[in-house]
Each structure stands twice: as structure tokens, then as C-alpha cells.
Structure 1
Amino acid sequence: MKTHFNSLVLFSFFVFGVQLAFCQESNWKAPVAADALKNPFKGNAKATVEGKHIFEQMCVLCHGVKGKGNGEAGLTLGTKPANFLAFKVKKESDGVIFWKITNGKSPMAGYDELLTEEQRWQLVNYIRELEK
């Protein structure tokens, strides 16, 4: 009986570990053309402050206060929100992040109709600030 229980526990840890890795590892790729998009507000401190306000209103619930993907609503999702501090996100171009904010991928909504292009770039600026 004990052997079966130990096997079940080990199997459960394996399955949970695979699910956790899958949830945190996203294969969401933007089209190559997204890399060519240039951030018109790069280095603009005022745009970054505006991005912070938008982030606090629209993103914190899923992505968390520090952008780690651990917001209250995000914890309930099958696909976990991006951790903006992860190396994978840090190495993405501003254009890719802008494209992802614009288009979304379920469960994340696309924000092309909810936010202006300027606001989406401001969010990119603030996400970059979180990485520092």
C-alpha cells in the first residue's frame, strides 16, 4: 500500500510540475514584422508615468503590481499571465510587446479598441521600467 501511495505522490508531483511549466512557458510568438515596430516614446519619462497609470488600472489584476504574472485574477486562469520580469519577455522587442498588447491571445484581451496606440506604447515603456 505504501509503495502505491509513494508512486501516486511522485506521479502527482510530475503531472503538476509539467502543468506548471506549461502554464508559465508560453509559445506565443508575434509575427516577425512586429520586431520592426519602433517605440515612438522610448526614453520618454512622461509616457512611462502615463503607462504606469494605465497598468495600474488595466493590468494589475492579472499581471500583479510588480508585473510578475501573479495578480489575483491571473492566478485563476489556466494560462498564466506573462511575468514581465522573465528573461523571455525582457529579450522581446518593444514592437513584439506592443503587438501582443494590441492583439491579445485568450485569455488576454486585445487592447486595440480599448486603448489608443499612444497608450499601448506607454504601457510598453512602463513594462520596460518594471524590468529594471
Structure 2
Amino acid sequence: MHSPIMSIPRGVATALRTTALTAALIGAAGVAAQQASTEPITTPVTIDLSALPVLGAPWREDNPYRGDAQVAEIGRALFNQACARCHGDDGNATHHVGTDLRRLDSYCFAKIKDLAARRHCLRDNDHYFKESVLRGKIRVGVTHMPPWEGVLTQEAVWSLKTFLESRRP
């Protein structure tokens, strides 16, 4: 009696082995990305944020610094200290494990012509960005981005978003 595995044609068996190898490599890359992003945040933020306008305790629903070039420059320095490891220097994520955050708002500008609808889209993206930074990204028990709540202030988070908006393609 033949074992079911023995009756698999040679080409199919090769394809199965290739698929298994590919899955293993993707899994290994995922583990490497996880290890890169789950290291504890032990380095304090050393960028001087004192020039940022104080926003107070309640979190804003949309970016209050949008379009402010001075805030964007502070956000750039902060981004390169805190985020570049995964998202690339100046947000250029071409060869990094993190996503290209410069494109976060691109749909709002490329597809939405109505200004009120565009403002609503930007507000949704602001909320998504804020929540992602504060709470991190954990999917199926895998941390893809550490949470920054308690490390970054509201001013710091919005300065990061302002910097990324200044880098839109």
C-alpha cells in the first residue's frame, strides 16, 4: 500500500517544498522585524521640544500644527531619533521594515476633491496616526510597533505628524 505522500507527483512535491521554504523565510523576516521593533524603548527622547506650542491635557482630534514649518523641523529631529530605525531616515522607508508614513494622507489628496470631505479624511488619518503611535501595532500577538504612550507627549506626536505631512510625495 502506498503512502499518500508518496503518490504526489514530483513537480507538485517540489512546489510544496518551495512554498514551505518561502513561508519559512517570510516567517523569519517577520521575526526579525518583530525583534527590531519590540526592543524596549529605553532611550529617552532628547530632542528639545520646548519651542512647540503647549497643547494641554486633552488630546486634539486633528493635528493642530499642520503646515507649521518650524514644528515640522522639530518633528524631523524627533522622527530621526525615535522612528528612523524602522521607518527610515527622514521617513524614507524604502529599505526598512516599517511602512512609508509619508504616504499616510495621500488618498485624501489624490482621490478627494471636496474640501470638507478632505478635512474629514485628514482628521480620520490624524486619529489613526495618534492611536497607532500611542498604542503601537500588535497583530495576532506580534508587536510590529511598540507603544509610545507615556514616552511621547501630545506635542511630540503632533510634531511627528506635521513632519510627515511636510514629506508627502
Q: Specify the SS of the correspondent of 1:9.
A: helix
Q: Please say if 1:61 is aligned against 2:98.
A: no
**Structure 1 residue 63, shift from structure 2 partner:** 1.1
Uncovered stretches (5+) of structure 2, i.e. residues with no partner: 1-8, 31-59, 108-123, 138-142
Residues 67, 130 of structure 1: 8 Å contact kept: no
The count of residues paired between Structure 1 and Structure 2 equals 108
Aligned to 1:114: 151
Q: Whole-Å Cα distance in 1 between the matches of residues 145 and 18 of structure 2?
A: 33
Q: Whole-Å Cα distance in 2 between the matches of residues 93 and 120 of structure 1?
A: 13
Q: Specify the SS of the correspondent of 2:157.
A: helix
**C-alpha distance 121-84 of structure 1, shift in aligned 2 (>3 A):** same
Q: Whole-Å Cα distance in 2 between the matches of residues 16 and 131 of structure 1?
A: 35
Uncovered stretches (5+) of structure 1, i.e. residues with no partner: 23-35, 75-80
Aligned to 1:78: none
**C-alpha distance 5-128 of structure 1, shift in aligned 2 (>3 A):** same
Q: Whole-Å Cα distance in 2 between the matches of residues 102 and 10 of structure 1?
A: 37
Q: Which amino acid aligns with 1:5?
A: T
Kindly name which structure, 1 or 2, has the bigger radius of gyration based on alpha carbons: 2
Residue deviations 1:30-67 (CA, integer Å, cap 9, x gap) = xxxxxx81111011111100100000100011111234
Higher strand share goes to which structure? 2
**Structure 1 residue 70, shift from structure 2 partner:** 3.7
**C-alpha distance 10-102 of structure 1, shift in aligned 2 (>3 A):** closer
When the two chains are superposed, the root-mean-square deviation of aligned CA atoms in Å is: 3.4
Q: Whole-Å Cα distance in 1 between the matches of residues 16 and 144 of structure 2?
A: 34
* Percentage identity across paired residues of the two chains: 19
